[in-house]
Amino acid sequence: MHIQNNTVKKDCHQPIIAVNNISFSYEQKPVMQNVSFTVKERDFIGLIGSNGAGKTTLLRILVGLLKPQSGQVELFGEPIQKFKQWEKIGYVPQKNNLNPLFPATVKEVVLSGLGKATKRTAYNQEKCHDALLAMDIVDLANKKIGELSGGQQQRVFLARALINNPALLILDEPTVGIDAETQQSFFHMIKHMHQHHQMTFLMVSHDMDMIRSYLGDEPVSQAGKIKFYIRHSHDTQNCVAEDLAHSLQNLRLRMDREKEV
């Protein structure tokens, strides 16, 4: 009889986004052709590219808002057409075209990030408070969102994306319109989440200083006009060591399985 080894650590290098050969055009205007890349669990990926390079288009494809004319996208190992676990993904778009008369309060907008589970339980209220605290907007909790400045609204949408504790956070120029001090604390927070909370990030940014300081000077790859800067959550040495451990464990398991046959 084979005894399942439950002590085997889950491989932390699983692809959670796999893009294979996608091409996209707006009517007759091609934006990307044959783009392929993989995002692995606990990567932090910075997407850099000039205006119009297709960064926002790419993110919109990844969250299912646009459909590529060819190629495949897989999320958490499933074809995007079948993928249903959207609560695993937090997405903050570049612009929220908010109607100033939109009646919801900041708290309600942040709670709506929980999707169906927006009931006012003490637990959800606490999660909401934590997200508001993280973005330093506790004092705005009961204000109408339409009455806030652009930068304040952006913080609210970031808090909304964080409340679900997503496995993957997709951010499209998240700090545009936010003052320098809040930008600093925001980057500090996402770096911390990346290193200690096992969160994976895909972030479009024009902030080369932030990208370089955290993800290094050179892009790891390029697709069309979009450059990918990448850092895994543990440093390379540990990563290699873990890789080795994983592959040896997998080898052991495979050998055990072969013995059974």
35 contacts ligand ATP (rule: CB under 6 A): no
Residues of the chain by 3-state class (helix, strand, coil), percent to 5: 40, 25, 35
Taking Cα atoms as reference points, which of 86, 46, 29 lies closest to residue 62? 86
51 contacts ligand ATP (rule: CB under 6 A): yes
* Closest distance of CB 54 from ligand ATP, Å: 4
| Minimum CB distance to ligand ATP smaller for 31 or for 134 | 31
| H-helix segments, the chain | 55-62, 106-112, 122-134, 150-162, 180-196, 208-215, 236-260
In this chain, which of 2, 9, 29, 84 binds ligand ATP, going by CB under 6 A? 29
* Closest distance of CB 50 from ligand ATP, Å: 7
146 contacts ligand ATP (rule: CB under 6 A): no
> How many residues line the site for ligand ATP (CB under 6 A)?
11
Cα–Cα distance, 193 to 243 (Å, whole number): 22
Let me know: does 31 contact 70? Beta carbons within 8 Å: no
In this chain, which of 42, 55, 227, 232 binds ligand ATP, going by CB under 6 A? 55
Q: Which of residues 57-86 bind ligand ATP (CB under 6 A)?
A: 57
Report the interface residues with ligand ATP, using CB under 6 A: 26, 29, 31, 49, 51-57
